[in-house]
Amino acid sequence: MPSILHEQPLLPHLVAHHLAAHGDAPCIHTPGGTWSYRDVLDRTSQFVQAQRSVGVAPGARLAILSKNRPEVLVNAMASLVNGVVLTPLHPMGSLADHSYVIGDAEIDCLVFDPRHFAERAAELQAHHPQLTLLGFGPSDSGHDYLALADGFAPAPLEPPDMFLEDLCSVVYTGGTTGRPKGVLMTQRVWQAMTWIQMAEWEFPAPLRIAVPTPLSHAALSLLAPVLVSGGCFYVMESFSPDAFFDLVEQHRITCTLIVPVMLYAMQAHPRYATVDMSSMETIFYGASPMSPAKLAEAIRHWGPIFFQFFGQTEAPMVITHLKKGEHDLARPERLASCGKPVPWLHVALLDDQNQPVGAGESGEICVRGPLVMNGYKDLPDETAEALSGDWLHTGDVGRFDDEGYLYIVDRTKDMVITGGFNVFPREVEDVISTHPAVSMVMVIGVPDPKWGEAVKAVVVLTPGTEPTDELTSELQRLVKEAKGSQQAPKTIDYVDELPLTAVGKPDKKAVRARYWSDSGRAVS
């Protein structure tokens, strides 16, 4: 056993300490009122005891399937303090997807929201009879988690002994091919992320944070910084511009974390021009690239309140950042950057031989440090590939400018090779998105008998705009003038919306599948 002499406080210890430190200060805003830190401390203790009463002890595997609600946060805190291993399930996932994760992650207990997932929970238990069910309220299946917790008196929170390399969560990636991969994330990973956030991220004070993104996936990334800061969570069950604007105005929200498609929806909404956002000090954004043109417009409209983060499940959230002051409208090209690497990690651009690329050249973004996963669950070959040469290979292609800002040009597996010419879709998307008629754009390669692959743009237009041949020619000309004729899309399709993943990212895999379904492979 490792010695505890030099062990640092981990995420479970931070939760227990800071829930007890802030007393009657507001912790979680709910539709029925605000829960203080003391309230959440007591409820967390009751949840821990409820888990243990049904056999969910330290080391057990627990999954969560729920839309956003305050109890998701409390369950995350209780699970951490109880020493269980957490796995979120995508709220929009299929039965087959959920069943696969339950089996692959060896889940012992499923916590679910019976308002939306009672039937799915019962189906999963039928497939996995060993599964214990805990529902946020009564249902025909399993235990009523809330009623069970009510039967226990609050007690002090006492996390079990745990160490940096103990498993904390198994989070499943969407993956580009095949089944999702279970990312093994130790206490070290979450501790490293928390330290970097506290050192580098620009949290306002007082911290009143609106949470419109799925809590099942974001909860652990936000828990420690908000609790350490004595902040208050304002949980949204789902995102809509109206509901978000109402929340900001009514509660003087100072901070939020969004994905780019949420900003685009707000910009297209009539209230964008009139909403009072004067209380908002920091908007964190990430998970997918932001259109530089739309970001610039939002900065002009709301001010320099945007902070970008970049990471991936295998090294979450904090590999690089572009701070508020670095969103410089006098340097518009910088808005296409994901910022500079944090000083707490090793970040390099490597070629196919794991060697650093030359200055100004593009290479795969690779990472070393305490933020990096231990590997993929039961997938030794995939783990060896992802961690070859003692680097995490992110699969993203980037380049540094002469000031050290990192630009992601695309994913290694997403590059379009057309007539022997390499096209990075991100660069084409950035050009097309500058056109005022374009709300969202995705650029992919499609099969082409002459070129092997042809560049195609799939475009969502702004409300009130109609697709025309003239508009298509205009967008093609825009790219040709900015990037050269080789990168101009051969064709442009107009759609009402782009499919999104469960965490709000544009789902390029789903769009590509539409065009490659008749092909024997996904490249030419």
Residue 220 confidence class, pLDDT cut points 50, 70, 90: confident
pLDDT class for 520, splitting at 50, 70, 90? very low
Same domain, residue pair 176 and 244? no
- Judge if 426 and 407 occupy the same domain: no
157 and 255 part of one domain = no
Residue 327 has pLDDT above 50, yes or no: yes
Question: What length is written for the chain?
Answer: 524
CATH number of the structural domain spanning residue 139: 3.40.50.980
Identify the pLDDT of residue 173.
83
Q: What's the domain count of the chain?
A: 3
How far apart are the C-alpha atoms of 321 and 318, rounded to whole Å? 7
In a domain, 119, yes or no: yes
Domain end position, chosen among 169, 186, 203:
186
> Is 421 a residue whose pLDDT tops 60?
yes
For every residue of 146-210, DSSP letters joined together read HHHHHTS------PPP--TTSEEEEEE---SSSS--EEEEEHHHHHHHHHHHHHHS---SS-EEE
Do 342 and 441 share a domain, yes or no?
Answer: no
In this structure, the answer to whether residues 459 and 477 fall within a common structural domain is yes
Cα–Cα distance, 255 to 265 (Å, whole number)? 18
Q: Residues 126, 250: one domain?
A: no
More confident residue, 289 or 236: 236
**pLDDT tens sequence across 436-484:** 999 999 999 998 877 888 999 999 999 999 999 999 999 999 998 888 8
- Nearest residue to 12 (alpha-carbon basis) of 75, 111, 83: 83
Q: What is the pLDDT of residue 176?
A: 39
Give the per-residue pLDDT at 518. 66
In a domain, 256, yes or no: yes
Mean pLDDT over each residue of the chain, to the nearest integer? 92
Lowest-confidence segment of 177-181, 361-365, 489-493 by average pLDDT: 177-181
pLDDT of residue 522: 47
What's the distance, CA 33 to chain centroid? 28
Task: Name, in order, each residue with C-beta under 8 angstroms of 61's C-beta and a sequence gap of 6 or more.
Answer: 84, 85, 87, 105, 106, 107, 108, 109, 170
Read off the DSSP letter of residue 82.
Answer: H
Q: Are residues 267 and 389 in the same domain?
A: yes
Cα–Cα dist 261/264, whole Å: 5
3 in any annotated domain: no
Instruction: Give the C-alpha separation, 456 to 445, whole Å.
Output: 6
> What's the confidence (pLDDT) of residue 290?
86
Mean pLDDT calculated for residue range 490-494: 96
User: Same domain, yes or no, for 298 and 265?
Assistant: yes
Q: Is the pLDDT of residue 177 over 70?
A: no
Is the pLDDT at 389 greater than 80, yes or no? yes
Tell me, what CATH number does 278's domain have?
3.40.50.12780
Under the banding of pLDDT at 50, 70 and 90, the label for residue 215 is confident
Could you say which of 359, 392, 412 is where a domain stops? 412
| Residue type present at position 159 | P
Give 148-159 pLDDT, tens digit per residue: 999 999 999 999
pTM for the model: 0.86
* Domain limit, last residue, from 360, 378, 412: 412
Reported as a single tens digit per residue, the pLDDT across 40-58 is 999 999 999 999 999 999 9
Same-domain status, 393 and 442: no
What is the model's pLDDT at position 435?
95
- What percent of the chain is predicted at pLDDT more than 70? 96
Residues 316 and 377 reside in one and the same domain: yes
Question: Would you state the pLDDT for residue 178?
Answer: 53
Q: What angle is formed at CA 64 by the lines to CA 99 and CA 380, rounded to 5 degrees? A: 55
Say if residues 180 and 87 touch (Cβ distance below 8 Å). no
Average pLDDT over residues 280-305: 93
Q: Which structural domain range is residue 57 located in?
A: 37-186
Please report which confidence band the pLDDT of residue 174 belongs to, taking 50, 70 and 90 as the band edges: low
- 521: in domain: no
Question: Do 125 and 176 lie in a common domain?
Answer: yes
Could you read off the pLDDT of 5-33 as tens digits, one per residue? 888 899 999 999 999 999 999 999 988 89
Q: Is residue 494 part of a domain?
A: yes
Instruction: State whether 355 and 480 are in the same domain.
Output: no
